[in-house]
A and B are shown apart, each in its own frame.
Chain A
Amino acid sequence: AQSVTQPDIHITVSEGASLELRCNYSYGATPYLFWYVQSPGQGLQLLLKYFSGDTLVQGIKGFEAEFKRSQSSFNLRKPSVHWSDAAEYFCAVGTVTGGGNKLTFGTGTQLKVEL
């Protein structure tokens, strides 16, 4: 079965500093990979996705992620964090099943931004 690990439960960075959120996955085939962001009491917004092709993926809000097959990782990065980036970030792996395309989520990383 597929699984996603986000090793960092909480991360605090200063505004303007760079950010990297870690994500490792376990899946037998080529994965579909996603990063979502959730603000308090809200649903999830897709930041970026990887299906195939270029392993460096650009997303919205200045985020990017790099798929590294050898490390089973899909880390999210941003060169300069803004205070509005404070939120919960979820990495997810997508699998194709008979009944539909399921997403398995990591446990999330809570990002706090210090002004």
Chain B
Amino acid sequence: GAVVSQHPSRVICKSGTSVKIECRSLDFQATTMFWYRQFPKKSLMLMATSNEGSKATYEQGVEKDKFLINHASLTLSTLTVTSAHPEDSSFYICSARAEVGYEQYFGPGTRLTVT
């Protein structure tokens, strides 16, 4: 149980375009989803926390207009990187937390490369 998927697993896009990453909880309802960014050989940096049906809460220094997060249902959250630039290239990981319990369950990650 507690499986989280991400799609796509890998994406390459041109500079200036937008790309959407999906995060789905497959076998539980996720009231809260989290988006992390991981640089090579670095730790995970929390970007934002999203609760179903409400606006995401962004961490300090994360541009909310650049990283659009939508959590429209209890099983789906999306992260859209708008007007992507090469410096946005990174490994993006989502996690989901059920209504009951504290644990976060992580997706397999999405490797974004902006050329």
**A residues bordering B, Cβ < 8 Å?**
32, 36, 41-46, 49, 51, 90, 94, 99-108, 110
Q: Is the interface of B mostly helix, strand, loop or mixed?
A: strand
The yes or no answer to B78 lying at the interface (CB within 8 A) is no
Across-interface contacts of B13 in A (CB, < 8 A): none
CA distance A45 to B44 in the complex (A): 13
Known contacts: A43-B106, A94-B102. The answer to whether A106 contacts B49 by CB under 8 A is: no
CA distance A100 to B44 in the complex (A): 17
- Closest Cβ–Cβ distance, residue B6 to chain A (whole Å): 8
Contact check: which of B95, B97, B106, B111 meets A41 at CB < 8 Å?
B111
Number of interface residues of B (CB under 8 A): 25
Across-interface contacts of B83 in A (CB, < 8 A): none
Query: What 0/1 pattern do residues 84 to 100 of B give for CB contact below 8 A with A?
Result: 00000001010101000
- Closest Cβ–Cβ distance, residue A106 to chain B (whole Å): 6
CA distance A5 to B76 in the complex (A): 33
CA distance A41 to B6 in the complex (A): 13
CA distance A89 to B106 in the complex (A): 14
> Which residue on A lies nearest to B10, using beta carbons?
A41
> Which residue on B lies nearest to A9, using beta carbons?
B41
Q: Give 26 pairs: A residue, B residue, CB < 8 Å, sorted on A.
A: A41-B111, A42-B109, A43-B4, A43-B109, A45-B106, A46-B103, A51-B102, A90-B43, A99-B57, A100-B32, A100-B49, A100-B51, A100-B57, A102-B34, A102-B46, A102-B49, A103-B34, A103-B46, A103-B104, A105-B43, A105-B44, A106-B43, A108-B41, A108-B42, A108-B43, A110-B41
Query: What 4 A-B pairs are tightest by C-beta distance, nearest first?
Result: A44-B106, A43-B106, A43-B108, A100-B32
> Which residue on B lies nearest to A101, using beta carbons?
B102
CA distance A105 to B34 in the complex (A): 13
